[in-house]
């Protein structure tokens, strides 16, 4: 027991120090809004936006939101780090070539899959123009690609750049093709990352060169030209699977490598939570995992408690503080491990988020409230003492009255939290002003005394 407590304190200190010293590391912010995404690519065929999130500790993640119009092609890239993706809308095909296999998977809304670092892949959206756009949320673990000096390389590099980087002579011999073929490849402008799929239209400008590149890379042909093992992998679909927890207040599913073999050895695992109107994910914490979630439907409130300092006092400006914030569709939020949290839906809509948790393999969320509360496992007198409750029976009452576990009813809770969030902001403003006034007074007094 004692050694565990020491380890826990050590971890919190480590994370705090990393944030204080690491000026090259941007500060920890639990809320990363949709507005803060930056645009990496935007063409008629689609676009990519991205944000970086940090867990205030060791972890740093890159999120990309990739949109393909129907009948588009996300050109081949080589992954520098693992990529986990969720298909938000639409349909498409992901073709990948890894060290020991070549595969093609059809993806639909609700699918998740993992591609390992070193994999080359490209994505085609369903060609039917009446179909929905293919929208993919992808997460990349940056721990692997960030060196201690703070340099970070991109999550992937595009294949065309890698090929074109070589001298013509090298390419000509390397591919065993004519000089003209290589010229055609090298001297056309670099295509954007997302282009229309134009195999059917041979008249279109630039098509010949693209066709060349695609031929080189084995793209677009009837089958991928690779004589290695070809398996038929299947993604995991949240909407087709049975949830881990389901009751009238909502459902929640966490995917493990037993559900999706491609997750084996992954540092990240996906999960999804759907809270119906006026419910909450009961207060809980993750002993091993940091959660990075993206809101895919509706809006909700998130409350997070800083485990180091329950008063939420900010020490030296670093960011471990209690937080309460509203999230809307497209926003991302991060909850570091050991931080007790709750997510709450409003009375008028469901609140759905898809997320990725780090080190999920051994993580078992621990709940504070509800039938599965860890407090129920502790001696009542001890719990009573921890809360300065008058006696054990008051605690008994506190713990026994909630008949449900994990996902609980919580009518008007989000509304109430949002209101108190406004009050908190007001109060903080007042406190800040008060502090400034006091400082000025102190200065004045000093000046007077000096006289």
Interacting residue ranges for ligand NAG, rule: CB under 6 A = 75, 158, 160-161, 190-193, 201, 203-204, 274, 276, 297, 350, 352, 390-391, 393-394
Helix axes 207-217, 179-186, angle to 10 degrees: 110
CB of 319 to ligand NAG, least distance (A): 31
279 vs 272: CA distance, rounded Å: 15
Residue 307's nearest CA partner among 335, 282, 327, 344 is 335
Question: For ligand NAG, which is the closer residue by CB, 248 or 364?
Answer: 248
Helix axes 168-175, 179-186, angle to 10 degrees: 120
CB-nearer residue toward ligand NAG: 244 or 309: 244
User: Which CB sits closer to ligand NAG, 19 or 249?
Assistant: 249
Contact between 367 and 317 under an 8 Å Cβ cutoff? The reply is no
How far is 1 from 59, CA to CA, in rounded Å? 27
CB of 190 to ligand NAG, least distance (A): 5
- Nearer to ligand NAG among residue 78 and residue 319 (C-beta): 78
Residue 85 in contact with residue 213, Cβ under 8 Å?
no
Residues 6+ apart with CB under 8 A from 38: 49, 50, 51
We find the least distance from the C-beta atom of residue 49 to ligand NAG, in angstroms, to be 15
Our CB check for ligand NAG shows the closer of 196 and 307 to be 196
Instruction: Give min distance, CB of 239 to ligand NAG, in A.
Output: 6
Q: Are 81 and 155 in contact (CB under 8 A)?
A: yes
Minimum gap (Å) between residue 153 Cβ and ligand NAG: 11
**8 Å CB contact between 32 and 53:** yes
Residue closest to ligand NAG, measured at CB: 158
Nearest-angstrom CA–CA distance, 256 and 385? 38
CA distances from 292 to 63, 138, 395 (A): 10, 12, 33
Looking at the Cβ atoms of 18 and 398, the one nearer to ligand NAG is 398
The C-alpha angle 210, 211, 213, rounded to 5 degrees, equals 65
Alpha-carbon span 44 to 30, nearest angstrom: 33
Q: Which residues, in sequence order, are bridge partners of residue 299?
A: 328
Nearer Cβ to ligand NAG (341/395): 395
Sign of CA dihedral 422, 427, 428, 434: positive
Residue number, 61 or 351, with CB nearest to ligand NAG: 351
- Shortest Cβ distance from residue 241 to ligand NAG (Å)? 12
Which lies closer to ligand NAG via its Cβ, residue 75 or residue 306? 75
Q: How far apart are the first and last CA of the chain?
A: 59
Q: How far is CA 232 from the centre of its chain?
A: 27
Between CA 269 and CA 61, with CA 318 as vertex, the angle to 5 degrees is 25
Please report how close the Cβ of residue 379 comes to ligand NAG at its closest, in angstroms.
16
Cβ-based nearer residue to ligand NAG, 81 or 267: 81
Cβ nearer to ligand NAG, comparing 16 with 352 = 352
For the CB of residue 232, give the shortest distance to ligand NAG in the complex, in Å: 27
Q: Supply the minimum distance, in Å, between the C-beta of residue 160 and ligand NAG.
A: 5
For residue 191, the minimal CB distance to ligand NAG (Å) is: 5
**Separation CA 52–CA 40 (nearest Å):** 13
3-class secondary structure, 127: coil
Q: How far apart are CA 46 and CA 36, in angstroms?
A: 19
398/421 with CB nearer ligand NAG: 398
189 touches 161 (CB < 8 A): no
- Min dist CB 266 to ligand NAG, Å, is 24
CB of 89: closest distance to ligand NAG in angstroms?
11
């Amino acid at each position: 027991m004692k050694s565990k407590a020491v380890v826990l304190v050590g971890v919190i200190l480590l994370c705090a120090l990393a944030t204080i010293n690491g000026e090259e590391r941007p500060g920890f912010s639990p809320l990363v809004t949709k507005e803060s995404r930056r645009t990496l690519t935007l063409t008629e065929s689609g676009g990519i936006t991205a944000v970086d999130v940090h867990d205030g500790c060791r972890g740093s993640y890159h999120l990309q939101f990739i949109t393909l119009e129907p009948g588009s092609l996300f050109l081949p890239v080589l992954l520098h780090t693992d990529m986990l993706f969720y298909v938000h809308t639409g349909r498409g095909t992901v073709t990948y070539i890894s060290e020991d296999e070549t595969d093609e998977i059809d993806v639909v809304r609700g699918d998740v899959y993992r591609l390992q670092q070193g994999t080359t892949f490209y994505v085609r959206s369903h060609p039917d123009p009446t179909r929905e756009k293919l929208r993919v949320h992808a997460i990349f673990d940056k721990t692997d690609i960030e060196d201690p000096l703070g340099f970070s390389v991109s999550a992937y590099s595009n294949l065309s750049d890698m090929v074109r980087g070589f001298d013509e002579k090298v390419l000509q011999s390397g591919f065993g093709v004519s000089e003209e073929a290589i010229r055609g490849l090298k001297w056309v402008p670099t295509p954007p990352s997302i282009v229309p799929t134009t195999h059917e239209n041979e008249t279109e400008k630039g098509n010949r060169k693209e066709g060349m590149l695609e031929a080189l890379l084995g793209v677009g042909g009837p089958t991928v030209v690779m004589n290695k093992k070809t398996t038929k992998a299947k993604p995991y679909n949240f909407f087709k699977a049975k949830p881990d927890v389901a009751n009238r207040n909502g459902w929640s599913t966490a995917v493990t490598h037993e559900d999706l073999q491609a997750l084996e050895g992954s540092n990240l695992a996906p999960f999804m939570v759907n809270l119906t109107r006026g419910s909450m994910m009961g207060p809980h914490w993750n002993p091993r995992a940091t959660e990075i979630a993206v809101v895919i439907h509706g809006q909700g409130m998130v409350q997070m408690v800083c485990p180091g300092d329950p008063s939420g006092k900010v020490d030296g400006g670093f960011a471990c503080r209690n937080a309460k914030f509203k999230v809307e569709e497209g926003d991302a939020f991060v909850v570091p491990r050991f931080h007790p949290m709750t997510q709450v839906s409003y009375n008028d809509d469901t609140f759905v988020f898809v997320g990725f948790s780090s080190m999920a393999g051994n993580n078992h969320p621990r709940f504070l409230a509800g039938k599965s509360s860890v407090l129920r496992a502790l001696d009542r007198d001890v719990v009573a003492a921890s809360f300065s409750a008058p006696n054990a029976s008051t605690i008994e009452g506190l713990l026994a009255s909630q008949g449900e576990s994990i996902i609980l009813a919580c009518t008007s809770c989000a509304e109430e939290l949002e209101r108190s969030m406004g009050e908190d902001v007001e109060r903080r403003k007042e406190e800040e002003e008060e502090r400034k006034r006091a400082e000025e007074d102190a200065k004045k007094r000093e000046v007077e005394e000096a006289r």
